Chain A
Amino acid sequence: DTGVSQDPRHKITKRGQNVTFRCDPISEHNRLYWYRQTLGQGPEFLTYFQNEAQLEKSRLLSDRFSAERPKGSFSTLEIQRTEQGDSAMYLCASSLPSGGRGVANYYEQYFGPGTRLTVT
């Protein structure tokens, strides 16, 4: 499978614990994105990387959240001192370094299967 992969697929943790998720993008994609989705809502942007550089962070990304992409390949998202409100699906996406389908300005993002986090 050459798509975006995420690990683990499911995580149940107790409030106050730290959790870390991993994302492996499509191999030739240099942009990697993290989103969070709660029930009944569309995904909400958290942060994105171009290669190893973190270029943008959403205000949703509180101090308890940190993301890294140390070698410009896989990325990790860590949540410290989890809260019940952190329960959500965490989605990773990646895109090509230029517009998809030969069209400029269209960075089509492809999503992984997500990590479903439940904080009890």
Chain B
Amino acid sequence: RKEVEQDPGPFNVPEGATVAFNCTYSNSASQSFFWYRQDCRKEPKLLMSVYSSGNEDGRFTAQLNRASQYISLLIRDSKLSDSATYLCVVNGQAGTALIFGKGTTLSVSS
């Protein structure tokens, strides 16, 4: 079983749609959780950290369920510029190696 699993997609949605990505992780001792965004042939960029209480940043909402070892990202009112690969990331021990999922590809069309 992979340490971090994501549905690879692709997710093809129209502008304005709401889309949700899910992710599961295998190490119950994981301490910190993130979503990164990666554009084609570019470096991953931190989108948001994911806290136990859930957190929101504009159109983006992240949730963490430690009991189910499940992380989600919700994007509301999708924009063309949201088209990218979204990487679910887990940190087994804070400040050490990040463990990445393969990524979920989102394509937003007009």
Contact = CB atoms under 8 A, between A and B. Distances in A.
Contacts of B32: 105-107
B34 A108 contact: yes
A40 interface: yes
A58 B96 CA distance: 11
B102 A42 contact: yes
Given A42-B89, A91-B44, 4 more contacts: A43-B100, A93-B98, A107-B91, A109-B46
A35 B45 CA distance: 14
Contacts of B43: 91, 111-114
Interface in B42-89: 42-46, 49, 51, 87, 89
Nearest to B96: A56
**Which of A35, A40, A100, A107 is the most central at the interface, judged by chain B CB atoms within 10 Å of its CB?**
A107
Please name the 3 residue pairs, one residue from A and one from B, whose CB atoms are nearest each other, closest first: A42-B100, A45-B97, A105-B94
A100 to B, nearest CB: 7
Nearest to A113: B43
A99 B94 contact: yes
Given A43-B44, A110-B46, A111-B44, A105 B31 contact: yes
A25 to B, nearest CB: 13
Contact of B97 (A41, A58, A110, A114): A58
B99 interface: yes
A35 B4 CA distance: 16
A88 to B, nearest CB: 13
